[in-house]
Amino acid sequence: MAIRGVNAFDVAQAQFDKVAAMLDLDPATRELLRQPMREYSFAVPVRMDDGAVRIFRGFRVQHNDARGPAKGGIRFHPQETLDTVRALAMWMTWKCAVVDIPLGGGKGGVICDPHHLSEREQEGICRGWVRQLARNVGPVSDVPAPDVMTSGKHMLWMLDEFEAIHGGHYPGFITGKPVGAGGSQGRTEATGYGVVYTIREALKQLGLRPDQTRASVQGFGNVAQYAIRLYREIGGTVTCVSSWDNEAQQAVSFRKGEGIDPDELVGVTDRFGGIDQAKARDLGYEILPGDAWLEQPVEILIPSALENQLDGDNAPRVKPTVKLIAEGANGPTTPDADKVFAERGILLIPDFLANAGGVTCSYYEQVQSNMNMYWPKDEVLGRLDLTMTAAYHAVAELAQRRKLALRDAAYVISISRVAQACHERGWV
């Protein structure tokens, strides 16, 4: 998905400033929390398959680690920016705090397009990224994970390079590893399932049964696919999904009124979540413009692609039928769109609560790796359900008590917890 022309870090800081004022945070704490504690920008030289050396720009931002080691994914994207990584690191701090796991916020990225890189070239980027940061990341300081266009394979290359540099086994250095190579059961499903656990609880709050609802989803990567699967299992129907078409270099929406079968669509999808238009049409899907997903007459919207996808311009196009928006992506809704949805009475589950299932299960993987033991999938997903459900109800109860939007209530809880940790450490 193309990133819209909004600076994600400006959005993240605006969201923070609003709640910092509500909490009457002291100036020092405010200044500490609205900026990253540490950030790294560096060159990653890689010898390409044709023998030429190409220089890629890499980033790692550690926003705050007062509550525990920094935690956050690594994105490969041609439009990656340092400000995007800063915003995502900040959101990771709040995400870990809202579900009350002992980790801080970090994020990483490389400006590259994996669509046009061989596996060997991608491996070179992964190993080069670790070589630049080997002294600044690790199991007790900063624990990376997969993100946009990275996978368990990339994480294993990074782990192998880290262990080669440090001369030992450190499986807790990185999460999102393949099962059988230090990964956790349930990690693949975790983010998408976590989104649906919060949707399930929100529907109870709205007095709706899942089988009374339809949903439209932006994106068809890991998060979207597993969210669609679990949402269908609890009785809902997904009628539209959007995907990035790499050949056409634009987003495309796919609609089927009687309901989308994710397993059917996976069969015509590439490894980056791009759906083949011709094959989808043969399966009975209607092909629509990329933004059509947000104009569907459904009860639930699940943006699960990139940041800044719902803004002040397109938010008014959301149909009156929509009662709930669950942010599967990081930062998909701008403050202008937030205002539109609030005025219309749409309940919005904020990203750092809705999609916190991924980092929660990454934390479980980190714990298992450091303990050198593994939990069965039912145990992992059961723990995840309990954590996500408890976090949602804590946020919803505060929102109701203080008459706040869910986003503001989630921020109040998160920022309060992080600020308290900074105060107790004597930083401010």
Mean pLDDT of 98-126: 97
Q: What pLDDT is recorded for position 417?
A: 98
* Domain end marker among 332, 354, 376: 354
Q: What pLDDT is recorded for position 271?
A: 72
- Is the pLDDT confidence value at 6 over 80? no
CB 102 within 8 A of CB 178: no
Q: What pLDDT is recorded for position 423?
A: 98
The single-letter DSSP state of residue 184 is -
Element (H, E) at 285: none
Does 107 qualify as catalytic in the annotation?
Answer: yes
**Has residue 373 been placed in a domain?**
no
Share of the chain above pLDDT 70, in %: 98
Tell me the Ramachandran region of residue 273: left when phi exceeds 0, alpha when psi lies from -120 to 50, beta otherwise.
left
Say how far apart CA 148 and CA 329 lie, in whole Å. Answer: 10
CB 198 within 8 A of CB 176: no
What's the mean pLDDT when you consider all of the chain?
Answer: 94
Say how far apart CA 63 and CA 126 lie, in whole Å. Answer: 22
Pair (195, 222) in one structural domain: yes
**Has residue 32 been placed in a domain?**
no
| CATH number of the domain within which 111 lies | 3.40.50.10860
**Dihedral sign from CA coordinates of 41, 362, 251, 313:** negative
Pair (46, 162) in one structural domain: yes
Q: Look-up: residue for tokens 């949602």?
A: 392
Pair (299, 193) in one structural domain: yes
**Has residue 377 been placed in a domain?**
no
Pair (43, 165) in one structural domain: yes
The number of beta carbons lying within 10 Å of the beta carbon of residue 115 is: 15
**Has residue 341 been placed in a domain?**
yes
What are residue 355's phi and psi, to 5 degrees? -100, 20
Strand order in the sheet with 38-47: 38-47, 53-64, 104-111, 70-77, 142-146
| Range(s) of the domain holding residue 232 | 188-354
| CATH number of the domain within which 325 lies | 3.40.50.720
CA 127, distance to chain mean position in Å, is 23
Per-residue model confidence as pLDDT tens digits over 364-383: 999 999 999 999 999 999 99
Least confident piece of the model among 83-92, 125-134, 272-281, 399-408: 272-281
Amino acid code (one letter) for 108: G
The residue ranking higher by pLDDT, 17 or 246, is: 17
- Is the pLDDT confidence value at 1 over 60? no
Least confident piece of the model among 11-15, 117-121, 395-399: 11-15
CB 373 within 8 A of CB 185: no
Which residues are CB-contacts of 229 (< 8 A; sequence separation ≥ 6)?
A: 192, 262
Pair (271, 314) in one structural domain: yes
C-alpha angle 43-141-97 in degrees, rounded to nearest 5: 110
* Domain end marker among 329, 354, 379: 354
Pair (195, 178) in one structural domain: no
**Has residue 381 been placed in a domain?**
no
**Has residue 129 been placed in a domain?**
yes
Say how far apart CA 346 and CA 340 lie, in whole Å. Answer: 9
Say how far apart CA 346 and CA 181 lie, in whole Å. Answer: 43
* Domain end marker among 354, 384, 406: 354
**Has residue 254 been placed in a domain?**
yes
Q: What pLDDT is recorded for position 5?
A: 62
Q: What pLDDT is recorded for position 339?
A: 94
Query: Which candidate, 339, 333, 338, places its Cα nearest to that of 310?
Result: 333
Place 221 in a pLDDT band, splitting at 50, 70 and 90. Answer: confident
Say how far apart CA 67 and CA 219 lie, in whole Å. Answer: 32
Pair (144, 202) in one structural domain: no
- Is the pLDDT confidence value at 4 over 70? no
Q: What pLDDT is recorded for position 320?
A: 97
The single-letter DSSP state of residue 3 is P
Element (H, E) at 56: strand 53-64
**Has residue 309 been placed in a domain?**
yes
**Dihedral sign from CA coordinates of 382, 385, 390, 393:** negative
Q: Please, which residues bridge with residue 39 across strands? A: 61
How many domains, in total, are found in the chain? Answer: 2
Q: What pLDDT is recorded for position 3?
A: 44
The residue ranking higher by pLDDT, 248 or 201, is: 201
Pair (252, 317) in one structural domain: yes
What are residue 404's phi and psi, to 5 degrees? -115, 160
CB 208 within 8 A of CB 260: no
The number of beta carbons lying within 10 Å of the beta carbon of residue 135 is: 9
Share of the chain above pLDDT 90, in %: 88
Pair (172, 215) in one structural domain: no
- Is the pLDDT confidence value at 146 over 60? yes
Per-residue model confidence as pLDDT tens digits over 192-207: 999 999 999 999 999 9
Pair (213, 156) in one structural domain: no
Q: What pLDDT is recorded for position 249?
A: 77
Per-residue model confidence as pLDDT tens digits over 48-79: 999 999 999 999 999 999 999 999 999 999 99
Place 248 in a pLDDT band, splitting at 50, 70 and 90. Answer: confident
Q: What pLDDT is recorded for position 427?
A: 98
- The Cα-based distances of 40 to 26, 103, 108, 167, 321 in angstroms read 28, 19, 9, 24, 45
Pair (158, 224) in one structural domain: no
Q: What pLDDT is recorded for position 273?
A: 67
pTM: 0.89
**Dihedral sign from CA coordinates of 296, 297, 303, 304:** negative
Mean pLDDT of 186-192: 93
Supply 177's token pair: 């590893």
Pair (144, 214) in one structural domain: no
Q: What pLDDT is recorded for position 418?
A: 98
Place 2 in a pLDDT band, splitting at 50, 70 and 90. Answer: very low
Mean pLDDT of 283-302: 95
Q: What pLDDT is recorded for position 244?
A: 82
Selected catalytic residue, list 71, 107, 177, 256: 107
Say how far apart CA 262 and CA 260 lie, in whole Å. Answer: 6
